[in-house]
Structure 1
Amino acid sequence: MDFKQSLTKRIVIVFALMSALVAGVFALGIVATVHVVERKLTTTTLAGGLHRLLAMDDISQWSHKPEKSELFFAEGGQGPLALTRQLAALPLGFQEIKFHGDDFYAMVESVAGRKYVLLRDQESLEQRERLLFIVVIVGFILSILLAVLLGRLLARRVMAPVIRLALQVRHRDQVIELAPPLRPDYAADEVGELALSFDQTLGRLRKTLSREKLFTSDVSHELRTPLMVLASSCELLLANPSLDARSSAQVSRIARASNEMRQLVETFLMLARKPQDAGIQATCTLREVADAQAEVWGRLIREKGLEFIYDPQGAGIATLNLTLLQSVMGNLLRNAWHYTDHGFVRLTLSECGFVVEDSGIGIPEEQRHAMFQPFVRGDEGRGEGLGLGLSLVQRICDQQQWQVQLTTREPNGCRFTVTLSQDEGGHPRELPAA
């Protein structure tokens, strides 16, 4: 069984259970020991008392007083000393009997063929046992309460360094280079080793982030120049009047691909930086981005023999970042175009975002939760994609505090709903300009 309690509660529970076990064993031991000792003492005193009576010259000297705790009977005795039929049937030795409705200890001896019985009332012993039982129960309960109290105090002291370390890791920005190491603040124990492990892991994370920053800056510098060359060359070729229609279409495809690559590079650069350092500007509306994407992808979708439905009527007027919104919408439209062979692709704008629907092959229920993970594809046999489009969409939405949701259409197909950041009034939030 997997317990979900905190470590402090687990320590208290274990401490209380251990104390309950020890206290219970001791309580049972005390009760059993007292019971055995009382029985042996009663046996010894009854045997001694009976032997003293038998040593008397005249047994009739025994004063039979029923109100006393002991009663004496003898075979052939007269009056109160007379041995009843029940007592006469008792075997020799020590035993417990019920006599006249009360519980008694009985010691039976036989001397010269004559049976003697000495009885002792159990009431006084039972009272002592009840008192002992109450004392043991109260002691057991008090020991449990004391164990819980001590367990809480000890757990707080034991867990204090761990809680302190957790708060330091949670509230201190350990990724920046100026953050001091955690290890010197703790003793050379298990918590100190844990702090050292955090320092080592965070050190490796710093190095990884530094390499990523260098990589993204290198990519930005190295790819922008050839992309600008491609774009300018395509513009020059398209301006050439001697270029035939087929060649012009091919050059247009190259220009469009280079423009998409440039936007993709800018998107990755923005995602690699912190939102406050990325220089994200709100430069366009949802309708403007959707119009441009509908023009590009609408033509490709229709060329595939599909129906493209574009409904921009409900678009809001908030301004958003062109590169990020274009990447999200473009990847979703590309995904719909790629996985739809028959039917339609629909782009619908709303006050809070947009919806991309298709009548394609759909996504099985068991794969739906993993579709936004990197290198996960809906149909591995389709095309040469790496399965990074939806992962990029998820990363952009996470950074911009947007929401993307995947649902299944009936009888087949997918529906991607993107909800842009909203203010307290439920309206799309305008992204701050740099």
Structure 2
Amino acid sequence: MRSSSLQRRIILAFSLFGGVLGVSLVGASYYLTLQFREEIISQKLFAELDSVVLYYTIYHRLPAPRSAESRIYLSAGKNTFGLPAHLNKLTPGFHSVAVAGQKHHVAVKDMEGARFYLSQPDSALQLNQSYLLFLTLTLIISLLAALAIGAAVSNRVTRPLIRLTRKIADAGGENSKTRLAGGLDNDEIGALAAALDLHVERTKALIAREREFGDDASHELRTPLAVLKGTVELLLLEPDLPDSARKRLQRIEHALHEISDVIAGLLLLSRAPNTTESTTLYPVEPVLHEVVENNRYLISGKPIELSMELDGTTQVSVAPSTLRIVLGNLIRNAFNYTIHGRILLKLDKGSLTIEDTGIGIQQSDMGRLFERYYRGAEASKAAAGMGLGLSLVQRVCERYGWRIEIISHAGSGTRVRLLFKEASPV
């Protein structure tokens, strides 16, 4: 769901921001700590040294060091009391000296004629665990705060989007009168919903105009077609009609039937997929025979062997007029583009295979076979056409859940397999 994805992106953005901010703060704190480390160590040693001096003033003896690494020394006049040589020349203040290759920090202070020394190795003055724990907790808290803020902001931002998405999902079909902008705030989401309402109204008006045009065109075309059919039928009843003229009139009659079927099929495809259609099962074989006979003239006079292996049990829940559109386009292609050789029509249960030894299809054209008005270079040379046949076939297949497979190589023929779905139309 897009709104959930947007929520995740907002939360992720805030988390990244919080993480970067937390790491920056912790890093800056750690960096500054390292930069002022000498000052911190100096203050720490002198604070401890002050307590040593106070203890000595009260008890006249040196206290035990607070840590095992610390060393406390005292010198008074010429009495050094075991003071190491590397400390003997140090003046009051803070010093860093190297002893046996290791760095030591020393605090020196004079008090009442005596000089006190507090020495600690550098390794004993590393940042303590509590400070590191504090930095870690700071980072974790910043991340959790960023997550919480991100979740709250994303919920507030996406709530109207989720409402709009649900309203779109519940809007129903094209006859729905639900207004998407109703009940939404007058903000960017409300403006988007209003724009969608306007777009839906325009789309509905466009669909209505297209349907009206289709219905009007169908009505206006059927009238002259009926006149032509009646005229041809009357002419065919003439007893003295020459055979050559009778054959031409029969071809005209078949063409008029095909035009009527195409008009009916196009009107069907122009309607919504959920339009009520017949669920009656029709056998494929009679329609296939009819289409073959109507187009047999295309291979008349060609050295072509036409073979048919037909299974009479195959049925589809598609009107014969629509089935003729699909079969007619596929069979006409095989008849048109085969110059010599063999054409096989094989009707198995649930599928139709058309194999020919025709001119074939260039591999560069295979990806565009179902584009409207597209014709390959070889097809344009071999026969006239507009490049609409396979596009129309694909639309019918998509509507009824059929599948069409085409395998072809230039100069070696084409194999088309149409797989029917024996079920009611969607």
Name the TM-score, length of structure 2 as normaliser: 0.81
Deviation at 1:117, TM superposition (A): 7.0
CA distance in 2, matches of 1:89, 1:349: 112
- Comparing 159-168 with 37-46, which one deviates more in the overlay? 37-46
Letter in 2 for 1:412: S
8 Å CA contact 1:282–1:431 kept in 2: the answer is: no
Task: Evaluate the alpha carbon distance shift between residue 144 and residue 307 of structure 1 in structure 2; reply closer, same or farther with a 3 A threshold.
Answer: farther
Task: Letter of the 2:252 partner, please give it.
Answer: I
Deviation at 1:298, TM superposition (A): 3.8
Asked if structure 2 preserves the Cα contact closer than 8 Å seen for 1:281 and 1:431, the reply is yes
Deviation at 1:189, TM superposition (A): 1.8
Residue 217 (structure 2) pairs with residue 219 (structure 1): yes
Cα 1:129–1:283, aligned 2, differ >3 Å: closer, same or farther? closer
Aligned residue type for 1:201? H
Q: Tell me which residue corresponds to 1:168.
A: 167
Quote how far apart the aligned CAs of 1:265 are.
Answer: 0.4
Please give the alpha-carbon distance, in whole angstroms, between the structure 2 residues aligned to 1:146 and 1:184. Answer: 36
Q: Which moved more, 1:411-420 or 1:210-219?
A: 411-420
Alignment of 1:33-432 (within 5 A): 33-43=32-42, 63=62, 69=70, 71-72=72-73, 78-84=80-86, 96=96, 99=99, 104-106=104-106, 119-122=119-122, 125-126=125-126, 128-173=127-172, 175-176=174-175, 178-277=176-275, 279-280=277-278, 282=280, 284-313=282-311, 315-317=313-315, 320-379=318-377, 381-382=380-381, 383-408=383-408, 412-421=412-421, 428-429=422-423
3-state SS of paired residue (1:429) = coil
CA distance in 2, matches of 1:200, 1:319: 38
CA contact under 8 A between 1:16 and 1:151: conserved in structure 2?
Answer: yes
5+ unaligned residues in a row in structure 2: which ranges? 54-59, 110-114
Name the counterpart of 1:28. Answer: 27
Tell me how far 1:93 sits from its aligned partner: 8.2
Specify whether residues 355 and 409 from structure 1 end up closer, same or farther in structure 2 by C-alpha distance, changes over 3 A only: farther
SS in 1 for 2:82: helix
8 Å CA contact 1:356, 1:415 repeated in 2: yes
**Relative to 1, partners in 2 of residues 1:89 and 1:269: Cα closer, same or farther, differing over 3 Å?**
farther
How far apart are the structure 1 equivalents of 2:267 and 2:423?
23
**2:29 and 2:220 mapped to 1: Cα distance?**
85
How far apart, in 2, do the equivalents of 1:148 and 1:365 lie?
A: 54
How many residues are matched? 410
Percent of residue pairs identical: 27
Amino acid of the residue matched to residue 170 of structure 1?
A
Deviation at 1:62, TM superposition (A): 8.5
Q: Which amino acid aligns with 1:368?
A: M
Shifted more, 390-399 versus 351-360: the winner is 351-360
- Does the 8 A contact of 1:64 with 1:81 survive in 2? no
Question: How many angstroms does 1:403 deviate by?
Answer: 2.1
CA RMSD of aligned residues (A): 3.9
TM-score when scaled to structure 1?
0.80
Give the deviation of 1:146 after TM superposition. Answer: 4.0
Q: How far 1:209 sits from its partner (Å)?
A: 0.4
